[in-house]
Structure 1
Amino acid sequence: MAKTIIHTDNAPAAIGAYSQAVRAGDTVYMSGQIPLDPATMTVVGEGDFRAEAVQVFKNLQAVAEAAGGSLGDIVKINAYLTDLGNFAIFNEVMAEFIPQPFPARAAVGVASLPKGVQVEAEAVLVLNA
């Protein structure tokens, strides 16, 4: 099966050896997004968890759209939080961006994330489902 690399300037450029997303058939595997402004590559809302989470979902949305889908096409999302005390806020922000029925999800507490951010999320989309 051929794979297609997904890239958009509307989401942060990869800061390592990875692609923003890879499409294989009707499945799109989106790399983790942190709250970076795609134009400046600086952290948005630094220290404000809600603002960071909103930017993460804006970045995921941009990649999903570049792949020909939307956040409503997400079937699985993985969230990484440096403080699981922010889990309720993450849920609120996710519900603002992703329509019901909600995808499957995992939320993991981690010691640290790139650039000192508080949240990262990655997702899998299925298109044409």
Structure 2
Amino acid sequence: MKKIIASPLAPKAVGPYSQAVETDGALYVSGQLPVDGATGKMPEGIEAQTRQSLANLGHILREAGYDFSDVVKTTVLLADIADFGAMNAVYAEHFISDMPARVCYQVAALPMGARVEIDAVASK
């Protein structure tokens, strides 16, 4: 049975999708743009944007009763692969041990001119 998860602290879904879906002990979190859920604004720079995307991911994880240690896989989308090192340094602040599997792609563009978007799969 699937359960829809929505955190009031993360930005609302702006299309026909959910912030996250939980089923069979796994949580699938949609890609999180670096938009502040309270203000609707996006910070400048890749470090601040990565922190905001991960904060949004954290809000959704906690809403579902998970945390970063439960994450088993992430996908990171970057507008510019040259931002990889800076993004990776911030990412490492949130994933400290037993790192999840990850892929990272440069994409042609991200919504709202974002520099990063991060999704995740977590498991209990």
TM-score by length of 2: 0.97
2:120 pairs with 1:118: no
> What is the CA–CA distance in structure 2 between the aligned matches of 1:85 and 1:62, rounded to whole Å?
28
Measured after TM superposition, the shift of residue 90 of structure 1 is 1.3
- For residue 22 of structure 1, what is the aligned residue in structure 2? 21
Stretches of structure 2 lacking an aligned partner (at least 5 in a row): none
Measured after TM superposition, the shift of residue 14 of structure 1 is 0.5
Cα RMSD (Å):
0.7
- For residue 38 of structure 1, what is the aligned residue in structure 2? 37
> What is the CA–CA distance in structure 2 between the aligned matches of 1:111 and 1:35, rounded to whole Å?
17
What pairs with 1:1-129 in structure 2 (closer than 5 Å)?
2-43=1-42, 45-46=43-44, 48-127=45-124
Percent identity, aligned pairs only?
40
Measured after TM superposition, the shift of residue 40 of structure 1 is 1.8
The list of structure 1 runs, each at least 4 consecutive aligned residues, that deviate by more than 3 angstroms after superposition, is none
> What is the CA–CA distance in structure 2 between the aligned matches of 1:42 and 1:55, rounded to whole Å?
10
Query: How many aligned positions are there?
Result: 124
Deviations 1:62-94 (CA, angstroms, capped at 9, x unpaired) = 000011100111000000001001111111111
Measured after TM superposition, the shift of residue 30 of structure 1 is 0.2
Stretches of structure 1 lacking an aligned partner (at least 5 in a row): none
Deviations 1:11-68 (CA, angstroms, capped at 9, x unpaired) = 111011110000001100000000001012221x23x110000000000000000111
Measured after TM superposition, the shift of residue 97 of structure 1 is 1.0
